[in-house]
Amino acid sequence: MKNLRIALFTVASFVAFSVNAQTLDEIVDKHITALGGKEKLSTLKSVRMETNLSVQGMDIPVISTAVHNVGQRVDISAMGMEGYVITTPTKGWTFMPFMGQSAPEATPEDQVKDGLDELDLQGSLNNYKEKGHKVELVGKEDVDGTEAYKLKLTTQSGKDRTLFIDPKNFYIIRQVKKAVVNGQEMEVTINFSDYKKTEDGFVFPHSIGGAFGQGDMTVTKIEVNKPVDEKIFKVN
């Protein structure tokens, strides 16, 4: 079950041609437009996502509930036990009884900082300059047969991630970033596909996976801008 923690990074990661043919701003603008546009994304306040995570031969129900820049809670049901991961701007907790934990454990401060950008449900590329992020168009790279734009994003907190954007639909199809897993910093690759529009007009990938080849996640239900009791982001 230790690889379950690695696969769960695909959750957080819920809530973005020729290089000379397109400028960076044009690529980012087309990406934002593909997701509904700046005005639409600015109305995204909460997301509840039901998924099925296939890892190590098991199908694990995972529910992610997030409020924009407030908190995220990921509930996991495995081996007849219920666990969760909570992330807020200042604190975090993990409780995974199926991994031997008998009580919730506080998330180390550096890992809390790592998770801050994941609380931005409206996307790091959306209004990235205003948010203090930096984006660079590195070039092109093949992603499973797609010659994708390769962007380097450096967040305000100083974290780097590489984004690969499909030139046909301008969706992000791969993200590579560093994350702390089981106390060690590792490079995590996450693939996104099967983008669909909700009844509310928001666009989300419905197939997420590829983290070390350990987990494939299928989204079965998405609820947007429904009321969320923020008490769920606290440990009783």
pLDDT digits (tens, 9 = 90+) for 114-137: 788 889 999 999 999 999 999 999
What contacts 167, CB < 8 A, 6 or more positions away?
17, 22, 146, 147, 148, 149
Q: What is the mean pLDDT of residues 94-117?
A: 87
SS (H, E, C) 149-205: EEEEEECCCCCEEEEEECCCCCCEEEEEEEEEECCEEEEEEEEEEEEEECCCCCEEE
Number of domains the chain is built from: 1
- Say what the pLDDT of residue 78 is: 85
Confidence of residue 56 (pLDDT cuts 50, 70, 90): confident
**Which domain covers residue 33, as residue numbers?**
2-233
Q: Which residue has the higher pLDDT, 176 or 17?
A: 176
- Whichever domain contains 141, its CATH number is 2.50.20
pLDDT digits (tens, 9 = 90+) for 221-233: 999 999 999 999 9
User: What gap in Å lies between CA 174 and CA 190, rounded to an integer?
Assistant: 6
Beta bridge partners of residue 196, listed in sequence order:
204
